Amino acid sequence: MNEVRSADPDHVCPHYHGAVELIGRRWSGAILYALTDGPLRFAELTQSVPGMSDRLLSARLKELEEAGLVERTVRDDPPGRVTYALSRKGESLEPVMGGLRDWARRWHRA
């Protein structure tokens, strides 16, 4: 079995730790997972991830955008629709999210 190890066995790899903290923040993983099927508008994200406030969704989207995982697109035509989509960097997480989904379905009770 492959083991995740840092170069220094006494410390967690800072790259791994930073990535887990970013995508492991409350609701961030769910937002990223919802976007794996393609771009969504804010209201569609709200429906895809029930239980999250608009304020928190907005904050998480900004964080994920700043991290380069999500892209925000504003169309010029009225009413100026805004969509959110995974960036290329965000899309590269899809195998990881799929693996976590499979693990969760097998081992974690919802």
Proportion of the chain in helix, strand, coil states, percent, rounded to 5:
55, 10, 35
When pLDDT is averaged across residues 6-29 and rounded to a whole number, the result is 85
The alpha carbon of 40 is separated from its chain's Cα centroid by a whole number of angstroms, namely 13
CA atoms within 13 A on the CB side of 19: 11
Confidence of residue 3 (pLDDT cuts 50, 70, 90): low
What would the mean pLDDT of 25-44 be, rounded to a whole number?
Answer: 95
What whole-number distance in Å separates Cα of residue 108 and Cα of residue 110?
6
For 48-93, write each residue's pLDDT tens digit: 998 999 999 999 999 999 999 999 999 887 777 899 999 999 999 9
- Which CATH number is 14-105 given? 1.10.10.10
% the chain with pLDDT above 90: 74
pTM: 0.84
- Name the amino acid, one letter, at 4: V
